[in-house]
Structure 1
Amino acid sequence: MADPSPIDIQKALGGMDYPASKEDLVRHAEGKSAEDSVLETLKNLPDREYDSPTDVNKEASK
């Protein structure tokens, strides 16, 4: 499965309030019916608080 683009991730997280935990990010994306690849990427993020969409994308691209 191809990694989702940063744009796909941000679409799934649109309207998210930061800071947010990994669990918050996954729940929000699930609520927006995000693609499986986006959900998989979010579920594989380190378990910590994220301060911004940029913070999420930096971690997801590692």
Structure 2
Amino acid sequence: MAKVSPAEVERLLKGVDYPASKKDLINHVKQESKEVLDALQQLPDETFQRPTDVNKAIGEISRESR
């Protein structure tokens, strides 16, 4: 997975109503950033309560793929 900036993720997810599913997040950023979209597609199928939960999950996936 490409390195994705937490600030970029939060910027692109601005306006999302939480709690939000993985599908909700992907639909929100579809046209914005391929890197963030790729990262979101690798998230587990769960509901995220806040943007920091999304960034935490992306960070965990990133560490596992090294």
Common fold by TM > 0.5: yes
Gaps of 5+ in 2: 61-66
* Superposition deviation, residue 2 in structure 1: 3.2
Gaps of 5+ in 1: none
Question: Aligned to 1:61, what secondary structure does the other structure show?
Answer: helix
1:28 aligned to 2:1?
Answer: no
What does 1:1-62 align with in structure 2 at a 5 Å threshold?
Answer: 2-30=2-30, 33-62=31-60
1:27-51 Cα distance to aligned partner (Å, 9 max, x none): 0111xx3211100000100000000
Report which of the two structures shows the higher radius of gyration computed on alpha carbons.
Answer: 2
| TM-score, normalization by structure 2 | 0.84
* Superposition deviation, residue 3 in structure 1: 1.2
Q: 4+ runs of 1 displaced by more than 6 Å?
A: none
Question: Aligned to 1:41, what secondary structure does the other structure show?
Answer: helix
